[in-house]
Amino acid sequence: MDISFIAFVIFIFFSSTVHALLEIQIEGQNGWAGKLPTRIFKNWWTRHFTEVGHITGFHIFTVLFVLVFAHFPVLFVEQWTMYHEAFVLSFVFLHFVLEDFLWFVYNPAFGIKKFSRAHIWWHTHWFLGLPASYWAGVICGIALYFFAQS
């Protein structure tokens, strides 16, 4: 295991921790922006590609914010390649999976003991004790990471 992989993992942990703590300050105990004055989007796409059938403006702009900042290195690379993009997207996938999990771990209203289908209404599909979206995100993130290294 080389130092760049270790640095990558440490950076994901710290960025996800800060993001989770910020989101806890914003949402409190009400996950999936349950009590925020944010617009809720419901359409064909959200019904088929989100677990709860809708997405909030808060989540759309949070994803866009992370995507924009994750692409900051574009400014410093002479020629952006698909390998650079794969590396950035690997970070984004892994960041969001870990951030979501840490939201539960750090949130005083949940904690690790309440990390289950019984307490989390907005994660509707579970597999081997974790939301199915976590498995998909980790698989995509790891695959993109290894593609970026080739």
Domain boundaries, the chain: 3-149
Q: Which phi and psi (to 5°) does residue 78 adopt?
A: -60, -45
- pLDDT tens digits along 23-81: 999 999 998 888 888 878 788 777 767 777 788 899 999 999 999 999 999 999 999 99
At 79, which amino acid appears?
Q
126-98-79 Cα angle (round to 5)? 120
pTM: 0.91
- pLDDT tens digits along 78-135: 999 999 999 999 999 999 999 999 999 999 999 999 999 999 989 999 999 999 999 9
Burial status of residue 85 (CB atoms within 10 A of its CB: 0-12, 13-18, 19 or more): middle
